[in-house]
A and B are shown apart, each in its own frame.
Chain A
Amino acid sequence: MMLRGYLVPGKPLPLLAPERNPAWAELRRGFEAARDEIQASGADLLLLYSTSWINVIGHQIQADPAPEWVHVDADFHDFGTMPYRFRMDPEFAKTCESVARSRGLHARTVAYQGFPLDSGVIQALKLLDPDNRIPACVLGCNMYADRAETIVWGKAAAEAVAATGRKAVAVAISAFSNRVFPKRIDPKDDRLYSAKDDEWNRKLLQMLGEGRLEDVSQVARDFAAQAHGEQRGKAFWWLAAALGQHNGYDGTVHAYGPLWGSGGAVVGLVPNPAKDLSREFDEGDVQTFTGDRGVLAAGAAETPSPTSAAAPVTAATPVSATGIVKTTAAPKPVGAYPHARREGDLIFVSGIGPRQAGSDAIPGGAIRDAAGNPQPYDAAAQTRAVIENIKVILESAGSGLDKVVDCQCFLIDMARDFAAFNAVYAEYFKDIQATRTTVEVRALPTPIAVEMKVIARA
C-alpha cells in the first residue's frame, strides 16, 4: 500500500550548502521533517520519481542493488561533491517493469556500475533516509511523455506496490516554478525569480496544504505554462496517479523557498479516508498507454512486440488489482493488451485466436506458410481452439463460458468457413444463448482464419 507521498525539490542546495541562505536552510529542515515522518511510518520502500532523470527510451527503473559513486552537480560543482551509496529494491523494480509493460509502457530496469544518479535523487535519499534503512526504487521521467503516459506510469507504480505487498512512500522530485537565474549569484541574494512564479507556487501550495492533490494534477498544465514548471508539471501527474487520484489527503507544506530563482517546496500528503474524495476530471482518465509506442514497427509485418512478453502480475493471481487479466495458460497477446479486463461486474475479453499457449501452434493449420503461400486449414479445429482459449481465460478470471453474454466473431472467408464455424459454435453456445455478431475481415494479425472476442459476467 501507498502510505504517503512527498514532493521535494531536486536542486541540491539544501544538501550542499544550507548555511548559505536562510531559505535553503528552511528547505533542509523541511526535508528533515519529512525524514522523521517517513522513518516513523513503517515504510519498507521509498519510491522515487525524478524529473531530473530524463529518459528517451520509454521508462527506466533503477535496479542496481547498491549504487555507489561520488557525484558532482553539472551546475553547482563548486559547492562540493556528493558521495553516495544507497540500497535499492531490485525485486520491486522488476515487478514495476512487468506491470508497466502490461499497461502498454515501454519500460526497462537498469543496473550498471557507475550509472549516474541525478542530483535530485541523491539529495532526496541522503536527506530522507540518511542511514539507508529503507530500500529505494528510482523511476525516470520520459521527456516525450504527455499527461496520459505519465498518469499510466504513476498507476503502474501503485499497481506494483500492491502486487508486491510493499508499504511504500512515494516521492516526486521536482521544482515548482523552474525559472532560474541564468548567472552566478551570491547565494545570500537568492529569491524567487518573479512575483508571478511565486504567486503560482503559493496557489498550488495552498491546494496541497488542503490535501487537494488531484486538483493540483488537473491544473498542472496551466501552472507549467505560466510558471515554467519543471518537465511540464509531470511530477504532479505522476504523484497524483501513484497516490490514487483524489483530494482526500492531509497535506502539510513543510517548507517553501527559492533555489537559484526556482520554487522549491517540501510537501507531505497522507491519505485520509475520512475526507471528501470528490474530484472532477477535466480530461479523460487513462489506465493503459496507447500512444506512439510501436513506431519502430511502422510498416513492418506485425510481429509480437517485446513488451507483449511481460509476465502477469503474478502467475498465481492472473487478475491484478486494476482488473487486468493475464494468464500463461492462454496464447501470448501480440500487442500491448491483456487477455481480458474486468470492469465492474463484467469481463471484457480481447480478440482471441486459436494459437496454443507456449508453442503458438495453430490447430487445424496456418492459413499460409512463411512465404505467404495459401495452405489448407481446418476452420472447425480453429474455432474449437478459439473457444477453448476463451474458456481458459474466463476461468482464470473466475468466470466461465456459461457466463458469456455477447460474442463478436471474425472470419477471414465467410463463404468457405461459416458452416464449419457455426457448427462448432453451436456445440458450445447453444444453451448459453449469448448475443452474437459475425463478420468477415480481410486479415487477422497471425495466419489464422477465426478470432472471437466476448463479454462475460464476472
Chain B
Amino acid sequence: MSQGSIVAGVLAPHPPHLVYAENPPQNEPRSEGGWEGLRWGYERLRKKLAETDYDVLVVHSPHWKTRTGNHVLAVPKLSGLSVDPIFPNLFRYHFELSVDVDLARAIVAEGRAAGLEMMPMENPAFRVDYGTIISCHLVNPDWTKPIVAISSNSSYFDYSNEVGEDEMAKLGEATAKAIAKSGKKAVLLASNSLSHRHFTEEPELPEDMSREHIYHHGQYLWDMKVIRMMKEGRTKELAALMPDFIEQALSECKDGCLSWMLAALGYPAYPAEVYAYGTVIGTGNAVVGWHPNDAKVTA
C-alpha cells in the first residue's frame, strides 16, 4: 500500500446563511440570495477540488462540542434532519452521509498513541452537527466522498488558550500520521470562522445585505492580519499568534479547527490561496486553501 497524503487543507467556515442563500434541495427555506462573495469563493474552491484526486474529507467542527476528549464519528452511514439551534429559520437540512470508519479508527488510535483522550462515536442515532454538514455541503454538495468528522474538544476552554493550541497540534500530527498510514488521499476541512463576535439580532430579511458588515473594525484588522500571514506562508508564526487572535478577536479558532489543520499540514511555508472573505451576521469568514501538490510544482 502506498503512503497516504493530505492533498489539500481548507479553512471552510460553516455559516448556515450560505446554504440558505444557495437554496439547495436538501434545505427547506427559500432565499433571494446574499453573501455572494463567500459563495463564489466556495464555487471556485469546488472547481479546484474537482481537479484534485482525493478519497475522503476529514472535517474538524466547532459545533460538535465535547468536553470529555476528542470524539470521532465511527458509524458507516448516518442520516437525518439537521436543524441549526441558533438559526433554525435558515437551516433545516436533510443529510445522508458515509463515514470512512477505518480512517476514523486510525485517527483515534494515533491520537491515543500521542497521549490524547480519543473516543469513537458509535451510536447510529447520533445527529451529526450542523457545522460538519455545512462545511461538507459547501465543499462537496453531492456528498460523493466519505467523511471523517472530529469533535471540538472544548475541555481545554477550562484552561488557557495555549493549552488548547498544544492539544490541537498533537491532534493534527496524529491525524496526518493516520492518513499517511491509511494510503488514502485526504482533504482536510477546518470548519471555523475567523473573528467571531456576532450581532445579537437579525434583520427581518436575513439576506438583507445592507445590514451585513463586520461587527467592529478591530475584528477586521485582525482578520486581515491573519489572512496576510496565510498568503505569505507564515503559518508557524500564525500558530504562535493564535492565542492572542482568539482572545482579541473572539475568534472561533478557539475551537481548534484551524490549528489542528495547520499542524496536520506541517505548518505550510508556501502561500495559501484565499478564495473569499466576507462577513456573516458580523463575524469574519475566510475560505482559504492550502494545496501542497501545487506548492511542490511551484518549488
Contacts and interface: CB of A to CB of B under 8 A. Distances in A.
A228 B64 CA distance: 21
Contact of B203 (A70, A77, A181, A296): A296
Task: Tell me what chain B mostly uses at the interface: helix, strand, loop, or mixed.
Answer: loop
A112 interface: yes
B158 A57 contact: no
User: In the complex, which range does the number of interface residues on chain A fall in?
Assistant: 35 or more
Contacts of B198: 56-57, 144
| Interface SS, A side | loop
B219 to A, nearest CB: 13
Contacts of B81: 113-114
Contacts of B88: 110, 112, 115
A19 to B, nearest CB: 19
Interface in B99-152: 117, 119, 121-123, 125-127, 129, 151
Contacts of A53: 85
B117 A58 contact: no
A179 interface: yes
B126 A77 contact: yes
Most buried by B among A116, A118, A144: A116
Contact of A144 (B83, B125, B200): B200
A183 interface: yes
B68 A106 contact: no
B199 A295 contact: yes
Contacts of A179: 158
A57 B65 contact: no
Contact of A183 (B87, B117, B129): B117
A183 B67 CA distance: 8
Interface in B197-218: 198-204, 210-211, 215
A55 B85 CA distance: 8
Contacts of B202: 57-58, 296
Given A115-B88, A144-B200, A184-B117, A70 B64 contact: no
Interface in A159-183: 179-183
B92 A114 contact: yes
Given A114-B92, A182-B69, A182-B158, A54 B199 contact: no
11 contacts: A56-B200, A57-B198, A57-B202, A74-B64, A77-B122, A106-B200, A113-B83, A115-B88, A144-B198, A293-B201, A307-B201
Given A75-B71, A116-B83, 4 more contacts: A74-B151, A182-B69, A292-B200, A300-B211
Shortest 5 CB-CB contacts between residues of A and residues of B: A182-B155, A183-B117, A114-B81, A106-B201, A77-B123
Interface of B: 64-69, 71, 80-81, 83, 85-89, 92, 117, 119, 121-123, 125-127, 129, 151, 153, 155-156, 158, 198-204, 210-211, 215, 281-282
